[in-house]
């Protein structure tokens, strides 16, 4: 970011809200000197501080984008003595944010509703953050540790998650269409209602995750470790190639046009499942226990 440009925008929004540097510093639990350095463009600030600034000054986060004009976009007047502009200037053109959130240490931050990031978000440590209803599509998440975060109803379509560790996170009703997980380990996450259409899991592992009502369509697992996972519903056009299985269950599932390639599929349990002939033969070749599978007669 251009620190002088951001500093000028902070000063403009602060003055519009009729808040002094000392008052703003008090609400941010920092010194007035630090606020002065920001406004002069002499120091930088992280995205958590930017988010808090937006809340205090009653402006939209997009206001801080380099590509948007300096007009204050006020979401609500937070200062009791502020005089709001009766006709606030609002940016007419939606532009793409240029933030790079890589290398951050994010804890207990609420980024819910974040849109149009489309940038790298790598080498970060994220703890108990909220990204509910956020647009995280097309992101590169590389080398992240993500724990206890809530990504419910977020869009991860076409994102690349590489060499990351995800644990105890919520992905309820999220879109993971065409997402790629490479050398990543996913544990005790809630993917109920998530859409994995076209997603690829290559190496790494996924264990102890809730996948109730998840969508499995053209989903690929390649050389991945699967443990304590239950697949239900329709499993169509999927691929399980050279994977290791431990306590993996297909229950009340209809499995069609799905490729299984493994020396042994004995660790998979099938309960009240149906499979088409081709899938059935793949399972049979892998010495799977077929007693819980009904062959679909076409």
User: What is residue 24's predicted lDDT score, i.e. its pLDDT?
Assistant: 82
Share of the chain above pLDDT 90, in %: 49
Question: Is residue 45 over pLDDT 80?
Answer: no
- On whether both 190 and 60 belong to a single domain, the answer is no
Average pLDDT of span 118-125: 67
Q: Which stretch of 49-58, 132-141, 186-195 has the lowest confidence by average pLDDT?
A: 49-58
The CATH number of the domain holding residue 134 is 2.160.20.80
The CATH number of the domain holding residue 44 is 1.10.260.40
Instruction: Output the pTM of the full model.
Output: 0.66
d(CA 9, CA 41): 10
- On whether both 110 and 82 belong to a single domain, the answer is no
Residue that has been written with the tokens 């939606």 in this structure: 94
In terms of phi and psi (left: phi > 0; alpha: psi -120 to 50; beta: otherwise), the region of 45 is beta
Answer whether residue 47 is part of any domain: yes
Domains contained in the chain, number: 2
- On whether both 144 and 85 belong to a single domain, the answer is no
d(CA 270, CA 284): 13
Question: Is residue 2 over pLDDT 80?
Answer: no
Answer whether residue 264 is part of any domain: yes
Dihedral (Cα; 78, 84, 86, 91), 10-degree rounding: -70
Average pLDDT of span 255-271: 93
Range of the domain at 43: 1-91
Question: Is residue 85 over pLDDT 60?
Answer: no
- On whether both 166 and 219 belong to a single domain, the answer is yes
Residue 146 is classified by DSSP as E
Distance between first and last Cα of the chain = 60
User: What is residue 70's predicted lDDT score, i.e. its pLDDT?
Assistant: 44
Answer whether residue 218 is part of any domain: yes
Answer whether residue 100 is part of any domain: no
Cα angle: 90, vertex 116, 193; to 5 degrees: 125
User: What is residue 256's predicted lDDT score, i.e. its pLDDT?
Assistant: 97
Q: Which carries the bigger pLDDT value, residue 120 or residue 142?
A: 142
Question: Is residue 62 over pLDDT 80?
Answer: no
- On whether both 131 and 23 belong to a single domain, the answer is no
d(CA 73, CA 49): 18
- On whether both 75 and 162 belong to a single domain, the answer is no
pLDDT for 4-28, tens place per residue?
Answer: 888 888 888 888 888 888 888 777 6
- On whether both 255 and 134 belong to a single domain, the answer is yes
Q: How many CB atoms lie within 10 A of CB 20?
A: 12
- On whether both 72 and 109 belong to a single domain, the answer is no
- On whether both 255 and 118 belong to a single domain, the answer is yes
- On whether both 127 and 256 belong to a single domain, the answer is yes
- On whether both 262 and 166 belong to a single domain, the answer is yes
CA distances 177 to 112, 174, 194, 207, Å, are 20, 9, 9, 20
User: What is residue 100's predicted lDDT score, i.e. its pLDDT?
Assistant: 62
209, 188 contact by CB (below 8 A):
yes
Please, is 144 exposed, middle or buried when counting C-beta atoms within 10 Å of its C-beta (0-12, 13-18, 19+)?
Answer: buried
């Amino acid at each position: 970011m251009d620190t002088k440009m951001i500093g000028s925008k902070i000063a403009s929004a602060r003055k519009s809200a009729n808040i002094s540097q000392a008052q703003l510093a008090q609400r941010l639990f920092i010194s007035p000197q630090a606020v002065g350095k920001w406004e002069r463009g002499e120091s930088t600030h992280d995205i958590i501080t930017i988010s808090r600034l937006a809340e205090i000054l009653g402006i939209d986060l997009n206001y801080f984008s380099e590509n948007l004009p300096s007009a204050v976009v006020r979401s609500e007047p937070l200062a009791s003595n502020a005089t709001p502009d009766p006709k606030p200037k609002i940016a007419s053109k939606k532009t793409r944010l240029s933030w790079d959130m890589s290398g951050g240490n994010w804890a207990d931050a609420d980024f819910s509703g974040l849109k149009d990031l489309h940038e790298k978000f790598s080498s970060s440590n994220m703890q108990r953050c909220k990204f509910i209803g956020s647009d995280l599509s097309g992101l590169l998440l590389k080398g992240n540790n993500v724990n206890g975060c809530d990504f419910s109803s977020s869009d991860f379509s076409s994102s690349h998650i590489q060499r990351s560790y995800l644990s105890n996170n919520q992905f309820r009703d999220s879109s993971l269409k065409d997402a790629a997980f490479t050398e990543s380990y996913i544990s005790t996450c809630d993917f109920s209602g998530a859409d994995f259409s076209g997603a690829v899991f290559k190496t790494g592992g996924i264990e102890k995750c809730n996948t109730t009502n998840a969508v499995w369509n053209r989903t690929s697992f390649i050389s991945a470790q699967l443990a304590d996972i239950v697949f239900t519903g329709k499993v169509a056009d999927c691929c399980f190639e050279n994977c290791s299985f431990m306590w993996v269950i297909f229950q009340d599932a209809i499995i069609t046009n799905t490729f299984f390639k493994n020396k042994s599929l004995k660790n998979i349990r099938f309960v009240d499942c149906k499979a088409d002939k081709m899938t059935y033969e793949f399972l049979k070749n892998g010495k799977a226990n077929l007693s819980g599978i009904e062959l679909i007669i076409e």
